[in-house]
Amino acid sequence: MQMKEIMLGNEAIARGAYEAGVKVSAAYPGTPSTEISENIVKYKEIYSEWSPNEKVAMEVAIGASISGVRALASMKHVGVNVAADPLFTISYAGVNGGLVLVAADDPGLYSSQNEQDTRMVARAAQVPVLEPSDSEEAKEFVKFAFDMSEKYDTPVIVRTTTRLSHSQGMVNLCNRIEVEDKAYIGNPAKNVMMPGNAKVRHLVVEARTKQMIEEGCDFPINQMEYKDKSIGVITSGIPYQYVKEALPEASVLKLGMVNPLPRKLIEEFAASVENLYIVEELDPVIEEQVKSWGIKAIGKEILTVQGEYSANLLRKAIKKEEIEIKPVAQVPNRPPVLCPGCPHRSVFSVLKKLGIHAAGDIGCYTLGAVAPLNVVDTTVCMGASISTLHGMEKAKGKEYIKNWVAVIGDSTFMHTGINSLINMVYNKGTGTVMILDNSTTGMTGHQDHAATGKTLMGEETIAISIPDLCRSLGIHNVIEVNAFDTKALEKIVKEELRKDEISVIITKAPCVLLSKKLSDTQCNVVSIKCKKCGMCLKPGCPAITKKEDGITVINETMCNGCNLCFEQCKFGAIEKMGR
């Protein structure tokens, strides 16, 4: 009897890679893609790693493919931008062993800075895209993608969204296929993309795309489901599930391959239904192409380009039903906050006190932008804090940034912050860079990175020394300080901001959630000493609240004993006590 198991979409993708005979996997953690690698590492037949960023992960997978084995790279949608350089070129060069990129988009912006649609990137790169609609398909489409990659000599993208990545479904388990390694045969005309070779390969890519447009009509992953032909819907991925729930009577063309589009199949379906709708989240990628062929269809005229869809949204837009939706339950508004005991809060408290602006970055420390800290003024993308501070200095001069710092985490510094710091040194910049080293990739759930001393596979390795790395770039002012030593930190920040050269301040304290043990101490308010001044509330620790009479109180179940509030109180109203 065939084994079945309930799996997350990301878990099923990992299983698909295992069953497809993948031997190398590389990734950088990023919600909603992170669990792919966290499940792949369970399969000992696959070498898996956290790479410092998505470009490197893509290049590792490319190298493995060139050597003749099946390889997988995975990342979230914004990571595809980082990996775009090698992706666009390997599209021309093609593969040896199968090469698949899993890109996880985030409609609804649950944990991202934009709603980018990877299909648009794939069209530009001329890379085929497959889009599963449940966990079983997620596994099977990964296997199909590897076969397709080797048949058409192309990398293949499997696109998921948050809803698929993090929802569960039944998956049929199959045995792993041990794919024989392909021989490596030197072929510079194919693998060296200098202009003369690339011009030839571009023709190959164009021919390949035309072939897939034609042959894709017969791919089993594209399915026509005829019912009532008064309504026909072209859809793919998770929106297919909403269509089946909202329009069970409709005929549906479910596309498994969403780039390039199987034109003849779409034309056949469109000609067979009376009213054609195109249901796709985010950009009108399918819709614009179908309409450009002269096919009449309804899409974004009635459907949004923003956020996730739902069955109710389709009922209202297509069937014009008045949906009675229960009012949202009245619960306290809880915006994201730094955890109690987070070392970033200590650093931001000092910067707030000094009136310092921060060019921010992607990570937990982005929360330094919200009240009551309000320190982070800018956040663009991974590694951008140092570069943007440099740009400000070059635009307005050294004095302009005397009350600015760049703030970046240790994992993000290893991702792309290094490049920005090198640029700052090379181009004779000045300014203060603060690396908030909490010894992990905190934002995505505590993954290791090149400075933690441990690999994804759990092996001990060399921990890159961030201070030594900065000094090796020629930076003279590299200072390490305990993130919770606020007095020392305040003194250091003041001193370094006065300098007309580059300073790197590394604030060190592990993420409070890394240790599973409770601290030995915690803080308590001595009510009779409390002056109701509110100083202890300024850092915004969620463990501290104010009673109706104005006296503060510390929730002992939340306090992690960081002592930041203890240092804030000038009246001795907060005391340390054993837990």
pLDDT tens-digit map of 382-391 = 999 999 999 9
Same domain? 545 vs 559: yes
189/285 Cα distance (integer angstroms): 33
In this structure, the answer to whether residues 495 and 368 fall within a common structural domain is: yes
Domain endpoint, select from 287, 319, 351: 319
Total tally of structural domains belonging to the chain: 4
Beta bridge partners of 522: 577
CATH number of the CATH domain containing 200:
3.40.50.970
- Cis peptide, bond prior to residue 32, ω within 30 of zero: yes
Strand order in the sheet with 477-482: 376-378, 357-359, 404-409, 431-437, 502-508, 477-482
324 vs 183, which has greater pLDDT?
183
Q: What is the pLDDT confidence band of residue 29, given thresholds at 50, 70 and 90?
A: very high
Asked if 188 and 251 sit in the same domain, the reply is no
Q: What is the pLDDT of residue 2?
A: 74
Which CATH number fits the domain that encloses residue 287? 3.40.50.920
The pLDDT score that the predictor gives to residue 180 is 95
Tokens describing residue 296: 């009449």
C-alpha dist (Å) from residue 510 to 61, 252, 357, 452? 31, 52, 24, 11
pLDDT value of residue 413:
97
Q: Which of the listed residues 200, 218, 236 is the one where a domain comes to its end?
A: 218
Domain that residue 126 falls in: 4-218
Ordered alpha helix ranges (H), 77-175:
77-82, 84-93, 118-125, 135-152, 162-165
470 is in an annotated binding site: no
228 shares a domain with 213: no
Helix then strand then coil, in percent of the chain rounded to 5, is: 40, 20, 40
In a domain, 91, yes or no: yes
Rounded to whole angstroms, the Cα distance separating 136 from 172 reads 7
Q: 328 lies in a domain? A: no
174 is in an annotated binding site: no
Q: Which residues contact 508 (CB under 8 A, 6 or more apart)?
A: 437, 439, 480, 481, 482, 483
Distance CA 122, CA 117 (A): 9
Reply yes or no on whether the pLDDT at 558 is more than 80: yes
Asked whether residue 135 falls in the same domain as residue 34, the answer is yes
pLDDT at 424: 98
Determine contact, residues 224/253, Cβ cutoff 8 Å: yes
Mean pLDDT of all residues in 72-89? 97
Cα pseudo-dihedral 297, 298, 300, 302, rounded to 10: 180
CA quadruple 404, 410, 416, 418: dihedral sign: positive
Alpha carbon 258 to its chain's center: 22
- Indicate if 157 and 137 belong to the same structural domain: yes
Lowest mean pLDDT among 20-24, 62-66, 533-537: 533-537
Q: Model-level pTM greater than 0.85?
A: yes
Judge whether 541 is annotated as a binding position.
yes
pLDDT bracket for residue 425 (50, 70, 90): very high
Q: What is the pLDDT of residue 1?
A: 63
Q: Which pLDDT belongs to residue 25?
A: 98
In tens, the pLDDT along 354-398 reads 999 999 999 999 999 999 999 999 999 999 999 999 999 999 999
Encoded amino acid at 30, one letter: G
Contact between 509 and 373 under an 8 Å Cβ cutoff? The reply is no
Q: What is the mean pLDDT of residues 499-511?
A: 97
Is 511 one of the annotated binding-site residues? no
Closest CA to 293 of 325, 267, 260: 267
Question: Strand (E) positions, 410-539?
Answer: 431-437, 477-482, 502-508, 521-525
424 & 489 share domain: yes
Instruction: Give the Cα-Cα-Cα angle 193, 57, 107 (nearest 5 degrees).
Output: 105
Return the C-alpha torsion angle 342, 348, 353, 357, nearest 10: -170
Same domain, 379 and 503: yes
pLDDT band, very low/low/confident/very high, at 520 (cuts 50, 70, 90) = confident
Q: Which of 132, 135, 221, 131 is nearest to 170 (CA)?
A: 135
Identify the three-state secondary structure at position 377. strand
pLDDT number for residue 190: 95
Q: Is residue 234 located within the same domain as residue 210?
A: no
* pLDDT tens, residue by residue, 289-313: 999 999 999 999 999 999 999 999 9
Longest CA pairwise span in the chain (Å): 82
Report pLDDT digits (tens) over 228-257: 999 999 999 999 999 999 999 999 999 999
- In this structure, what are the phi and psi dihedrals at residue 153, rounded to the nearest 5 degrees? 55, 55
Q: Over range 433-458, report the average pLDDT.
A: 95
Three-state DSSP state, 23: coil
Q: What six digits make up the tokens of 182? A: 């392909």
What CATH number corresponds to the domain at position 532? 3.30.70.20
pLDDT of residue 336 exceeding 90, the answer is no
* 57 within domain boundaries: yes
Does residue 324 belong to any structural domain of this protein?
A: no
In a domain, 513, yes or no: no
Asked whether residue 559 is marked as a ligand-binding residue, the answer is yes
Is 562 annotated as ligand-binding?
A: yes
Q: Which of 218, 252, 280 is the last residue of a domain?
A: 218
| Pair 292, 354 in one domain | no
Examine residue 327 and state whether it is found in any structural domain, yes or no.
Answer: no
330 pLDDT more than 90? no
Contact (Cβ atoms closer than 8 angstroms) between residue 50 and residue 78: no
Hey, which residues does 25 pair with through a beta bridge? 48, 72
Do 479 and 349 belong to one domain?
yes
Do the domain assignments include residue 405?
yes
Alpha-carbon distance of 519 to 380, in angstroms, equals: 35
Say whether both 71 and 185 belong to one domain: yes
Spatial CA neighbour of 558 closest among 519, 511, 508: 519
| Contact criterion met (CB below 8 Å) for 32 and 165 | yes
pLDDT at 545: 92
CB-facing half-sphere around the CA of 47: CA atoms within 13 A: 10
Decide if 379 is inside a domain.
yes
pLDDT of residue 578 exceeding 90, the answer is: no
**Bond into 260 cis (ω within 30):** yes
